[in-house]
């Protein structure tokens, strides 16, 4: 028996005794009993999988096991779960409620580790729980008191600090090491016609995953191949267009929603023909790894998005300067350990899903929040961590692609919507390339662009453009067709910040899995000076929602991108099926002009020359913030980029204005009016857009 196996068995044995004990203050007994019971179930799950019984289990048994892993977070059950900070504070008091709720939430990261049979990750979390229980038990038995809150916080701090090396190594290995093949084996070795395989991941499975897999199984092989080919060819073309050396690479990171395995299996074959091995990692579920509402990796259903939202700032329990420095050191060591494989990594290929009911969070005063100092430390960590990543995975030699499809929750029209999105994802990019070049040629005559909303939309922005020294050879806008950023349909630039000013407003928008109402940003010299939304009655809560999830704790952000979406086919389809509020940024950004706050589209690649299909050099790859990389790289990159789109029906005008005052109207009242763009209006009138 290994040391870890012995630690695990001791922990399980001790946990099994807690439910029969009365060794803590009676107010805290339900908390420890509830979580001890959950850990006992996780131990049983671990043994069930280790014994091989999972692979032999019938479907109903697999469903039962999946349910018991997540049941206390589902629906109304969460209302009275100690993982809910509101309930924990109500039952345990404010001092301990927040802390112990965060611990309970961390214990609910265990299904991922149980199904991967990661004994160390399971054991250390059980030991944290037992250490906290021991402190409560000792204080009550010896002194008839509660332990000091500071002592419990210190236990959590040292848990996070002591195991940060383990977490950092796992994060880097998951990013670049193709030999970590837990998910790859499920995709390649399972009988995908038997949907039991969905339960092998240890992710929460609902009708979305089940019916998505069923739908894909119903499609003919040629359609599956079309989807996979569009996805993987977009990745390959990203290297080709940017003249990057794909032949030097050996791995690609595949991210996808569960249910998509039939396409992913074909994509793996396609990538291997390019010489790339798949690297597939799970979306984080632990506060140590960065649990978020928005998932990155492979993922099943969100058990409860409110749960994820309630615990997105649990690092407030341990985040300080010393911890940040330690975490960065651990991350550096992990990159060094995997630097050979990192140098061979080509980047991410992402399949997004959309169609779930938009999530509007409830803002609970009981949830943990980062202090101002912790917000600064979080920004500092992300900045330094991002810069570190570029040292080991050279931006000059990496690319990406991203494509999106609906899930069945989008409604009874799911099969028709799926087919429509497939059509949108495979539109004739050559046609769009020609039309978009007409727009770019006009924009290149301008020194700035005026964008105004109509109706209830209060947008009124002036966007400054870079000066072209040689218009015959230079351009401000990239002609974006279907390579890395599927589907087709936008031209974009990095604006000049000085002189860019005004108000950006959208009546409703869905960003990073959160729904915003009346989101409004005010800019001066390209930087956010004010912000608001109307999700909550309390203005302070509205500002905090935007500050945490759009500004990502930065005091301000620049406009990193200005773009004009041209995919009117997608816009009309969204209106026809009434799914505007469910579309991902990837598609929504192609359905009108959009502005990204944060880094530019050329982040970390500003010094690499990029060309349009017509051969002109794109000179607008920089702005006054990213230019700071020459002085202080920590001030140059914000490690965020959030696109906010004004849909055509809220757009009054988009006009390019030349230095001499000549105006070129490109869009008026939501319709393209520039010569050469007439075909973009055809979908509005029922004609084919592609």
Q: What is the pLDDT of residues 357-416, one digit of tens each?
A: 888 888 899 999 999 999 999 989 988 998 899 999 998 899 999 999 999 999 999 999
Place of tokens 């490109």: 666
Q: Give the C-alpha separation, 674 to 665, whole Å.
A: 6
Q: Residue 513 above 80 pLDDT?
A: no
Mean pLDDT, rounded, for 157-184: 96
With contact defined as beta carbons under 8 Å apart, do 98 and 89 qualify? yes
Q: Distance between CA 489 and CA 429 in Å, rounded?
A: 8
E strand or H helix at 100, and its extent? helix 94-107
Please check whether residue 370 is in contact with residue 554, taking contact to mean a CB–CB distance below 8 angstroms: no
User: Is residue 107 very low, low, confident or very high in pLDDT (cuts 50, 70, 90)?
Assistant: very high
Interval 284-300: pLDDT, tens: 999 998 888 888 899 99
Q: What is the pLDDT of residues 574-619, one digit of tens each?
A: 999 999 888 888 898 899 999 999 999 888 888 888 888 888 999 9
pLDDT on residue 688: 47
What is the residue extent of each domain of the chain?
3-152, 173-401, 427-685
Report the predicted TM-score, pTM, of the whole model to 2 decimal places. 0.88
Is the pLDDT at 483 greater than 80, yes or no?
Answer: no
Which tops the pLDDT comparison, 429 or 221?
Answer: 221
Q: From CA 442, how far away is CA 437, in angstroms rounded?
A: 9
Alpha-helical segments (H) within 525-683 = 539-549, 568-577, 585-588, 633-636
Place of tokens 């690319």: 399
CA distance 89 to 99: 9
The mean per-residue pLDDT over the stretch 265-276 comes to 98
Contacts of 232 (CB under 8 A, 6+ apart): 267, 270, 271, 274, 349, 401
Q: How many angstroms separate the Cα of 608 from the Cα of each of 121, 242, 385, 618?
A: 42, 9, 22, 10
With a cut of 60, say whether residue 431 has pLDDT above it. yes
How much is the pLDDT for 689?
46
Q: What Rg do the C-alpha atoms of the chain give, in angstroms?
A: 26
Chain centroid to Cα 536, Å, comes to: 24
Which pLDDT value is given to residue 482? 60
- Please tell me the least confidently modeled range out of 40-44, 173-177, 272-276, 397-401: 397-401
What is residue 467's predicted lDDT score, i.e. its pLDDT?
A: 95
Phi, psi at 652, each rounded to 5° = -80, -45
Please compute the mean of the pLDDT values over residues 485-508 and round it to a whole number.
Answer: 94
pLDDT above 60 (res 427): yes
Stretch 261-277: mean pLDDT, rounded?
98
Task: Give the 3-state secondary structure of residue 628.
Answer: helix
Contact 88, 105 (CB under 8 A): no
687: pLDDT strictly greater than 70:
no
């Amino acid at each position: 028996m290994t040391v870890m196996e012995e630690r695990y068995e001791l922990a399980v044995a001790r946990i099994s005794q807690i439910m029969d004990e009365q060794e803590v203050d009676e107010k805290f007994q339900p908390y420890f009993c509830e979580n001890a019971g959950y850990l006992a179930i996780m131990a049983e799950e671990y043994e069930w999988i280790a014994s091989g019984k999972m692979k032999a289990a019938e479907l109903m048994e697999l469903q039962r096991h999946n349910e018991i892993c997540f049941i206390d977070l589902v629906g109304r059950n969460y209302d009275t779960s100690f993982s809910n900070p509101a309930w924990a504070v109500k039952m345990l008091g404010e001092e301990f409620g927040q802390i112990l709720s965060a611990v309970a939430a961390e214990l609910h990261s265990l299904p991922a580790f149980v199904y991967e049979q990661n004994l160390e990750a399971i054991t250390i979390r059980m030991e944290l729980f037992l250490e906290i229980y021991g402190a409560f038990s000792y204080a009550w038995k010896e002194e008839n008191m509660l332990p000091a809150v500071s002592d419990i916080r210190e236990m959590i701090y040292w848990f996070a600090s002591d195991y940060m090396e383990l977490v950092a190594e796992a994060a880097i290995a998951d990013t670049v090491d193709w030999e970590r093949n837990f998910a790859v084996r499920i995709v390649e070795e399972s009988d995908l016609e038997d949907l039991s395989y969905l339960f092998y991941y240890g992710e929460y499975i609902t009708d979305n995953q089940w019916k998505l897999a069923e739908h894909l199984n119903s499609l003919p092989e040629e359609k599956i191949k079309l989807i996979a080919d569009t996805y993987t060819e977009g990745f390959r073309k990203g290297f080709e267009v940017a003249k990057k050396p794909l032949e030097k690479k050996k791995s690609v990171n595949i991210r996808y929603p569960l249910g998509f395995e039939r396409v992913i299996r074909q994509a793996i074959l396609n990538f291997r023909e390019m010489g790339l091995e798949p690297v597939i990692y799970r979306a984080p579920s632990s506060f140590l790894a960065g649990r978020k509402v928005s998932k990155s990796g492979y993922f099943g259903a969100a058990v409860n998005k409110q749960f994820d939202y309630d615990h997105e700032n649990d690092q407030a329990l341990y985040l300080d300067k010393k911890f940040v420095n330690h975490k960065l050191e651990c991350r550096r060591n992990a990159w060094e350990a995997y630097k050979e494989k990192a140098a061979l990594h080509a980047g991410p290929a992402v399949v997004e899903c959309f169609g779930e009911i938009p999530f509007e969070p409830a803002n609970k005063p009981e949830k943990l929040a980062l202090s101002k100092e912790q917000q600064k430390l979080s920004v500092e960590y992300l900045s330094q961590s991002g810069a570190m990543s570029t040292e080991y995975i050279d931006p000059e030699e990496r690319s990406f692609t991203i494509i999106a499809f609906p899930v069945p929750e989008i409604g009874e029209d799911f099969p028709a919507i799926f087919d429509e999105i497939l059509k949108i994802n495979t539109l004739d990019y050559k046609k769009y390339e020609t039309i978009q070049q007409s727009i770019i040629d006009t924009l290149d005559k301008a020194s700035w662009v005026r964008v105004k909303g109509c109706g209830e939309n209060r947008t009124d922005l002036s966007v400054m453009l870079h000066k072209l020294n040689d218009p015959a050879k230079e351009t401000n806008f990239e002609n974006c067709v279907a390579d890395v950023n599927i589907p087709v349909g936008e031209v974009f630039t990095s604006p000049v910040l000085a002189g860019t000013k005004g108000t950006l407003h959208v009546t409703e928008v869905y960003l990073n899995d959160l729904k915003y109402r009346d989101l409004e940003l005010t800019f001066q010299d390209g930087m956010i000076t004010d912000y608001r939304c109307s999700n909550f009655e309390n203005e302070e809560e509205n500002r905090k929602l935007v500050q945490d999830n759009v500004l990502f704790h930065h005091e301000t952000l620049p406009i990193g991108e200005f773009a004009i979406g041209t995919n009117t086919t997608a816009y009309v389809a969204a209106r026809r099926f009434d799914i505007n509020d469910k579309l991902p940024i990837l598609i929504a950004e192609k359905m009108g002009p959009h502005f990204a706050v944060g880094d530019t589209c050329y982040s970390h690649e500003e010094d690499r020359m990029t060309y349009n299909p017509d051969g002109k050099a794109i000179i607008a790859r920089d702005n006054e913030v990213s230019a700071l990389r020459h002085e202080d790289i920590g001030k140059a990159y914000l490690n965020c980029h959030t696109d906010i789109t004004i849909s055509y029906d809220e757009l009054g005008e988009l006009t390019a204005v030349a230095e001499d005052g000549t105006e070129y109207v490109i869009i008026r009242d939501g319709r393209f009016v520039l010569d050469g763009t007439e075909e973009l209006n055809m979908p509005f009138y029922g004609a084919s857009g592609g």
